[in-house]
Structure 1
Amino acid sequence: MRDDFDYEDDLDYSFDDEEEDDDFGMTFEEDLYLMIREKLRDTIQEYKAQYPAIRKLESAVSSFKINAKNTDDSKFYPLAAKLLSEHIKPLTEESEEVLEIYENMQTDIARFKNQRAHGFEGEYYLSE
């Protein structure tokens, strides 16, 4: 029976180096903030041709800047996410789609306080 198990063929010890490099040295807060930005970017790319309000969202997200020197990751990234959501909140009055994106984003922002909370994935807030 032992001869039936070939370690080289039956166990896959390959690692995805690219994925590991992405997370190397990254805090939970930074990873979460980057995930929020990625969801926004992917959603905007997917729907901006269909909804003019999402083109406005694209402009708002691309113009968002934050400057918080001497702030550690545990405070900077939650602050950046909160300020980003406040930056796009006025657009929620113009569009149901942007409102849905904003509300779904709030679910992810809540994860800064509760790391075990499940993030939101949906039609107007894409995860890939």
Structure 2
Amino acid sequence: MRDEFDYDEDLSFSNFDDDEEDEDLGITFEEDLYLMIREKLRDTLQEFKGQYPMLKKLENAVSSFKVNAKNTDDSKFYPMAAKLLSEHIKPLTAESEEIEEIYDNMQADIARFKNQRAHGFEGDLYLSK
């Protein structure tokens, strides 16, 4: 059960390369998907913020994002956190086509919370692992 997610602390431990490691640690599908979304955002920002200066605003918004949801189990916490993160960065989409593209691409992964078989987005401005 998660009460809050801290971007800097939690992602420093999220370097998983295969499903066996995830299963050994007891990570739920929802947690794994949320961490993947955050990792894709982080990797995309690191890769492209020099090329697209507006991405620094997105990086600040993502790094300042925190969720507090006491007594919420993983199956509800992580989808809620992804939705709140999406809502947190949505206002920035009006400022940059690149941010809008990243936001739109992120929505494909967020949809996977409802349909685990859905294919997430992999592409130029939203990097896969």
TM range (shorter): 0.7 to 0.9
Preserved CA contact (<8 Å) 1:43 1:126: yes
Q: CA deviation at 1:21?
A: 3.0
Counterpart of 2:68 in 1: which secondary structure? coil
Who is 1:13 aligned against?
none
TM-score for both structures, normalised by structure 2:
0.83
Who is 1:123 aligned against?
124
Counterpart of 2:128 in 1: which secondary structure? coil
Alignment of 1:63-78 (within 5 A): 63-78=64-79
Higher RCO (C-alpha under 8 Å, 6+ residues apart): 2
Larger radius of gyration: 1
Alignment of 1:41-120 (within 5 A): 41-120=42-121
Q: Percent identity?
A: 79
Counterpart of 2:72 in 1: which secondary structure? coil
1:51-101 alpha-carbon deviations (Å, 9 max, x no partner): 111110000000000000100000000000000000000110011110000
Q: CA deviation at 1:22?
A: 3.7
| C-alpha distance in structure 2 between counterparts of 1:53 and 1:107, whole Å | 22
Counterpart of 2:125 in 1: which secondary structure? coil
| C-alpha distance in structure 1 between counterparts of 2:55 and 2:125, whole Å | 10
1:27 aligns with 2:33: no
Preserved CA contact (<8 Å) 1:53 1:91: no
| C-alpha distance in structure 1 between counterparts of 2:110 and 2:22, whole Å | 21
- In the alignment, structure 1 segments of 5+ residues that lack a partner are 1-17
Preserved CA contact (<8 Å) 1:33 1:78: yes
| C-alpha distance in structure 1 between counterparts of 2:125 and 2:21, whole Å | 29
